Amino acid sequence: MVNLTIDGKKISVHEKSTILDACKKLNINIPTLCHHPELKVDGNCNICCVKVEGKDDFVQSCSTLVEENMIVKTNTDEINNKRKSILKDILSNHPNDCLTCEKASGDCELQNLCYIMDVNRDEVPFDGKIRMDLIDDSGDSIVRDMNKCILCGRCISVCRDIQGIGIYEFNNERDLVNTVDNKPLKETECINCGQCIKVCPVGALYEKTQIQEALKALLDNDKHVVVQMAPAVKNTLGEEFGLKPGTDVTGKVVASLRKLGANKVFNTDFSADVTIMEEGTEFINRLKEGKNLPLLTSCSPGWIKFVEHNYPQLLNNVSSCKSPQQMFGALSKSYYAKKSGIDPKDIVSISIMPCTAKKFEANRPEMQINGIKDVDIVLTTRELAKMIKLKNIPFLDIEDEDFDKFLGKGTGAARIFATSGGVMEAALRTVSYVLTNGEMNDIDYKVVRGLEGIKEAEVEINGTNVKVAVVNGALNAKKLLDKVVKGEANYHFIEVMGCPGGCLAGGGAPIPDNIEIKELRKEGLYNSDKNNEIRRSFENPEVKELYDKYLGEPGGHLAHKLLHTHYLD
């Protein structure tokens, strides 16, 4: 332990602590911009500067380690003036459109600091011009507006160090964040995960919004709008209205979607259960034949793009199942259209997802049948919250409503898809039952739970030790797949999610999230699973009806036509 004094208060902290860490322990608030607790500190902004006795220059509190007997001052006029001049410098290069910015809802860290530090726009007018060449909306998921960038470097760090992809870099002058080789985002290896959006302290990165498109469809009487809601949305959207992370707000979201004009409000959990039927069958077949193992899950579109770019030799291992989002879309325009006598061309299929990559997925050429897209519009959790606010829907007071019947029921197994390990646990609940003819009745596979990046487990089913692995985050996927490719790991089944923690921390989820928030979301999802009277996918009565009356057998001809695909890139 190291002893030091900060603003006259003595404290003892671990020797690896920074001055900023020590200040936090003393509840001393230091302004930060580039610093982020989960990212490598680059010390790009200097706004966290403090003074250390014996040193003439200011010291960065976020990157300077504590030393024995250090005496630190954090709150003198000299320090505050220095911080203010740094902030003014940033603001003088920052456009003036706070009222309409994507981060206008109080999430902008720059705006918050200006308020707290009493820096006013009239002191630092923006004299620059908006450069259209600095706005990149070439992709399906992410928009970059480098006019607003404050050069903190967080996007560079999260993409390189957490996701292992490395799309962004500073230019030589360090006055602009570029993509590698200066390509439009669409032409890079960006997997659309949106993790860079979540760490951006300002509105320089945001999802490509489809709010207006959705509102137009919802108001169009000639269209029949069906909406699906992903598992993670149910336990996270409440955060946008001040509720505790993990709170299950399913009924309120359903009611809000009806108020927005949805003709039917359906459930991605339903198609997640269908996914288990299809992927479970695929797994059992591969296990029996010993072919194309390990089976790699296919529901995370960021991960799919990652494997296409980096491990094309493993594409035969990837499950041929479409994701639950796409399965739902395909069923809404076939099974549901037929049952309700609606022309699929008149159906607009909207999904609410915690994920930016789902926008990209819905636009993939593989994701349409006879020229009709499975899913037409994808809104993130944040976009739906914004629409609810826009239409003055009293979200917190609205009476809970239930999903529409037919594609509305989901099991506990489906709900946990949204947390790392959930797809694997859901699959094991069904696969073990089927392979043992009902003798194995386990529901809880706690070995695959938790937010760690890589998890491994062995489960004995019918005398076979089924070896499974669960990874989340692209960098962790890379670590595991390198072993698989080298023949150093022989798993039967691997769940991969592109975002760290899984969908509960997707690029379209409420901001901020951190490890505490992720834990609460995870707990909320497992509670919703526990509270569901049906916890195994094959027991979902609406799924049974789908197979009995329409699809036939899981893995059958019609199921293949509608619910499976091949990734060709």
Q: Which residues bind ligand SF4 (CB under 6 A)?
A: 142, 158-159, 163, 165, 167, 190-196
Angstrom distance (rounded) from CA 190 to CA 208: 14
105 catalytic residue (yes or no): no
- Structure token digits, residue 562: 């509608």
Choose the contact partner of 190 out of ligand HC0, ligand SF4, none; CB within 5 to 8 A by kind.
ligand SF4
In the bound complex, what is the minimum distance in angstroms from residue 359's beta carbon to ligand SF4? 11
Cβ proximity to ligand HC0, 114 vs 379, nearer residue: 379
In the bound complex, what is the minimum distance in angstroms from residue 382's beta carbon to ligand SF4? 15
Strand partners, 467: 458
Angstrom distance (rounded) from CA 362 to CA 359: 5
Cβ proximity to ligand SF4, 192 vs 275, nearer residue: 192
Phi-psi region of 227 (alpha: psi -120 to 50; beta: other; left: phi over 0): beta
Cβ proximity to ligand HC0, 272 vs 517, nearer residue: 272
In the bound complex, what is the minimum distance in angstroms from residue 207's beta carbon to ligand SF4? 10
Angstrom distance (rounded) from CA 443 to CA 314: 30
Cβ proximity to ligand HC0, 52 vs 427, nearer residue: 427
Tell the burial category of 567 from Cβ atoms under 10 Å away from its Cβ (0-12, 13-18, 19+).
middle
Choose the contact partner of 268 out of ligand SF4, ligand HC0, none; CB within 5 to 8 A by kind.
ligand HC0
Cβ proximity to ligand HC0, 34 vs 520, nearer residue: 520
Choose the contact partner of 194 out of ligand HC0, ligand SF4, none; CB within 5 to 8 A by kind.
ligand SF4
In the bound complex, what is the minimum distance in angstroms from residue 451's beta carbon to ligand SF4? 18
Task: Please identify which of the residues 102, 109, 239, 361 carries the catalytic annotation.
Answer: 361
Pairing of strands 70-73, 49-52: antiparallel
CB 232 within 8 A of CB 509: yes
> From start to end of 273-407, where are the E strands?
295-296, 347-353, 368-369, 372-373, 377-380
Q: How many residues does the chain have?
A: 569
Residue 225 one-letter amino acid = V
Pairing of strands 377-380, 454-461: unpaired
In the bound complex, what is the minimum distance in angstroms from residue 156's beta carbon to ligand SF4? 9
Angstrom distance (rounded) from CA 477 to CA 458: 19
Choose the contact partner of 142 out of ligand SF4, ligand HC0, none; CB within 5 to 8 A by kind.
ligand SF4
Task: Please identify which of the residues 38, 169, 189, 366 carries the catalytic annotation.
Answer: 366
Cβ proximity to ligand HC0, 262 vs 427, nearer residue: 427
425 catalytic residue (yes or no): no
Cβ proximity to ligand HC0, 147 vs 323, nearer residue: 323
213 catalytic residue (yes or no): no
Angstrom distance (rounded) from CA 144 to CA 138: 9
Cβ proximity to ligand HC0, 64 vs 267, nearer residue: 267
Give Cα 512 distance to the centre of its chain: 12
In the bound complex, what is the minimum distance in angstroms from residue 23's beta carbon to ligand SF4? 29
In the bound complex, what is the minimum distance in angstroms from residue 208's beta carbon to ligand SF4? 11
Q: Which residues bind ligand HC0 (CB under 6 A)?
A: 230-232, 268, 272, 299-300, 323-325, 353-355, 358, 417-418, 423, 502-503, 506
Contacts of 275 (CB under 8 A, 6+ apart): 299, 321, 323, 324, 327, 423
319 catalytic residue (yes or no): yes
Task: Please identify which of the residues 299, 321, 355, 499 carries the catalytic annotation.
Answer: 299
Give Cα 306 distance to the centre of its chain: 15
In the bound complex, what is the minimum distance in angstroms from residue 164's beta carbon to ligand HC0? 19
Choose the contact partner of 325 out of ligand SF4, ligand HC0, none; CB within 5 to 8 A by kind.
ligand HC0
3-state secondary structure 8-32: CEEEEECCCCEHHHHHHHCCCCCCC
Task: Please identify which of the residues 271, 298, 319, 332 carries the catalytic annotation.
Answer: 319
299 catalytic residue (yes or no): yes
> From start to end of 356-492, where are the E strands?
368-369, 372-373, 377-380, 454-461, 464-472
The closest alpha carbon to 555, from 220, 279, 240, belongs to 279
Contacts of 394 (CB under 8 A, 6+ apart): none
SS3 56: coil
Which residue is at the shortest CB distance from ligand HC0? 503
Task: Please identify which of the residues 198, 305, 358, 386 carries the catalytic annotation.
Answer: 358
Task: Please identify which of the residues 279, 383, 425, 495 carries the catalytic annotation.
Answer: 279
Choose the contact partner of 246 out of ligand SF4, ligand HC0, none; CB within 5 to 8 A by kind.
none
Q: Annotated catalytic sites, by residue?
A: 279, 282, 299, 319, 358, 361, 366, 503
